[in-house]
Amino acid sequence: MASDRTPDPAAPLLELTDIEAGYGRAALVLRGLTVTVRPSEIVCLVGPNGAGKSTVLKVASGMLTPRSGSIRVGGVDVTRHGPQDMIRAGLSHVLQGHSVFKEMTVAENVGLGAYTVKDKALVAERTDFVKTLFPVVADRWGDLAGALSGGQQKQVEFARSLMVSPQVVLLDEPSMGLDPKTTGKVFEQVVRMRDAGIACLLVEQNARRALETADTGCVLDLGRVHISGPASELLADPQLAELYLGGRPHTKEATAS
């Protein structure tokens, strides 16, 4: 029987609730962490080294099973599901560091993202979509990925991750190893993904830059979310700036002087 309920467009896409997780027998890394990602939203996780930011993404993508807590994607409980099921549920993970295959073409690298997609028409549609979203991917389609700059390779990784039509992309330190100008361009691409309707859960060392890009910020400390809210408000908070952003808030006046 068809449901007569209209889906709530603002309903959360990804809900990590009261997550406890760690590695092997070592102490817990995440200790009751709760993070929510809504449609077309960039949520960024910032916090000190070792706070557990990357661990949150590993839990969300099914690489690390939480010891307790729940994971819901689009309202469906997927706690304890493995990576393949998480992809099917609508999550895609762009790992930290560089993961393009340098001896393969851009086309082959992007095509790998569609390895599990059997519908050829859908693969063609997704290919058109990522080529439009990332013009450099289209321009360099036949070139070896190793011949691209670091920022361009990152866009190939983004394109590859979108081939499975995710609802939420998990981005682990996309600025790693990139100079500030290239980092700016990569963050512009993150905004383009968001504007194309793909929500992002972003982990960044470069906390200020990430908060300038994100809609919502979550500051992690001691394995849980210490504070969260609109990214612009977190950026403007002097205490947070002092503790986590390497100094006082940036103001237009301060930047201009």
Q: Which residues contribute to the site for ligand ATP (CB under 6 A)?
A: 23, 26, 29, 47, 49-55, 205
Phi, psi of 21 (to 5 degrees): -155, 155
Pairing assessment for the beta strands 91-94 and 168-172 based on DSSP bridges? parallel
In whole angstroms, the minimum distance from the beta carbon of 143 to ligand ATP comes to: 31
SS3 (DSSP) at 241: helix
Which lies closer to ligand ATP via its Cβ, residue 145 or residue 231?
Answer: 231
Tokens of 182: 């290239």
Which lies closer to ligand ATP via its Cβ, residue 51 or residue 240?
Answer: 51
In whole angstroms, the minimum distance from the beta carbon of 9 to ligand ATP comes to: 31
Biggest CA-to-CA distance, the chain = 65
Pairing assessment for the beta strands 168-172 and 199-203 based on DSSP bridges? parallel
In whole angstroms, the minimum distance from the beta carbon of 22 to ligand ATP comes to: 7
Task: Specify the long-range contacts of residues 221-229, CB closer than 8 Å, at least 24 apart.
Answer: 221/47, 221/48, 221/51, 222/31, 222/51, 223/28, 223/29, 223/30, 223/31, 223/32, 223/33, 223/51, 223/52, 224/30, 224/31, 224/32, 224/33, 224/34, 225/33, 225/34, 225/35, 226/47, 228/35
In whole angstroms, the minimum distance from the beta carbon of 46 to ligand ATP comes to: 9
Which lies closer to ligand ATP via its Cβ, residue 137 or residue 218?
Answer: 218
In whole angstroms, the minimum distance from the beta carbon of 96 to ligand ATP comes to: 7
In whole angstroms, the minimum distance from the beta carbon of 183 to ligand ATP comes to: 16
Q: Which of 42, 55, 50 is nearest to 14 (CA)?
A: 42
In whole angstroms, the minimum distance from the beta carbon of 23 to ligand ATP comes to: 3
CA distances from 74 to 16, 111, 140, 164, 167 (A): 12, 26, 35, 16, 9
Which lies closer to ligand ATP via its Cβ, residue 136 or residue 245?
Answer: 245
**Block residue for tokens 């993904």:** 193
CA–CA gap between residue 251 and residue 241 (Å, rounded): 12
Tokens of 98: 């560089």
Which lies closer to ligand ATP via its Cβ, residue 59 or residue 145?
Answer: 59
Which lies closer to ligand ATP via its Cβ, residue 49 or residue 239?
Answer: 49
Which lies closer to ligand ATP via its Cβ, residue 127 or residue 213?
Answer: 213
